[in-house]
Amino acid sequence: MPLLSLTGVFAPVLTPVDANLDIDLPLYVEFCRWLLQTGCHGLVLFGTNSEATSFSVAERMAALDAVLEAGIPAHKLVIGNGTPAISDGVVLARHALATGCHGVMTLPPFYYPKVSDEGLFRAFAYIIERTGDPALKVYFYHIPQVSGIPLSADLLDRLASAFPAVATGVKDSSGDPENLRRFQQVAASHAGFSLFCGTESLLLANMRGGGAGCISGMANVIPDQIRVLFERWQDADAEARQVQLNWLRNAAAGTGFNVIAAAKALTAARTGAPGWARVRPPLVELTPAQQQVLQAAVAVAEPVLA
């Protein structure tokens, strides 16, 4: 049964590539299964940690098709359709709907800097109106430190008012607790508008503020541990759990390595498939020496009790 509104722990699924830098579909399907078995309520295919923008529309659609053909339930999937060209966003949204996916996660068009809220509203409106299906659910994606294009609370409020039941929520990957609070006010003003934090380190703060969960790159590595905090965020020891949960993010940040390359290197180590460490240009994979440094940092930091 499709969910009316998402809630829980979601991974922006890492995208494995083969030696030709094409998506390694068998490895991808296997990884999606592992994530759902290990703690994720659902998956975001083609978020930032997925290197989404490094893959064409055709590559993204083929990867989604492979995942669905392998039996992964479509209603647990949100498809990243963020592209600089709004026409591409429509193509991806229609494909997501046609294949029964829950919805899409949409970046603002991200080439021109300093675009106005009016221009962003028109861009999102174009995607929603051209997709032309009241079943569409759009989660807007705020990650200004990467995209360069912030989404203001005013813009989200306008979108939620203009497109009720379609403008379904927002992912806040700014990592800024103040911004999360501003977005919580937007979510509180619109029934069914869900707020996800983009880092598990704000999961407790988000749940206490009425949020719906998190969509975090670290859910590619420790989905089980993040799931536990999600299940127990109302327990008396939730704050201690939150502090403990941050160990992996802190250990990875301490190495200074690119976080996507690091998550892939850790997945390579876990699965014993060295190809997992590959990334698509312009990112660069960790060297074997860097992978060792990372694994050592993680081994030291990992708590005995999850």
CA distances from 156 to 29, 168, 194, 210, 265 (A): 33, 10, 11, 17, 36
In the complex, the smallest distance separating the C-beta of residue 71 from a copy of itself, rounded to whole angstroms, is 27
Q: Which one of 13, 101, 123, 204 is in contact with a copy of itself (CB under 8 A)?
A: 123
In the complex, the smallest distance separating the C-beta of residue 82 from a copy of itself, rounded to whole angstroms, is 9
Burial of 200 (0-12, 13-18, 19+ CB in 10 A): buried
Residue 162 is a binding residue for a copy of itself (CB under 8 A): no
CA distances from 261 to 178, 218, 250, 279, 290 (A): 28, 12, 16, 7, 10
In the complex, the smallest distance separating the C-beta of residue 229 from a copy of itself, rounded to whole angstroms, is 28
- Interface residues for a copy of itself in 189-208 (CB under 8 A)? none
Q: Which of 49, 63, 54, 114 is nearest to 83 (CA)?
A: 54
Amino acid at 56: S
| SS3 call for 208 | helix
Phi then psi for 280, rounded to 5 degrees?
-95, 140
In the complex, the smallest distance separating the C-beta of residue 57 from a copy of itself, rounded to whole angstroms, is 7
- Interface residues for a copy of itself in 138-157 (CB under 8 A)? 145-149
Residue 170 is a binding residue for a copy of itself (CB under 8 A): no
Residue 119 is a binding residue for a copy of itself (CB under 8 A): yes
In the complex, the smallest distance separating the C-beta of residue 289 from a copy of itself, rounded to whole angstroms, is 15
Task: Give contact residues for a copy of itself (rule: CB under 8 A).
Answer: 21, 53-57, 59, 83-88, 91, 108-113, 115-116, 118-120, 122-123, 125-126, 145-149, 280-284
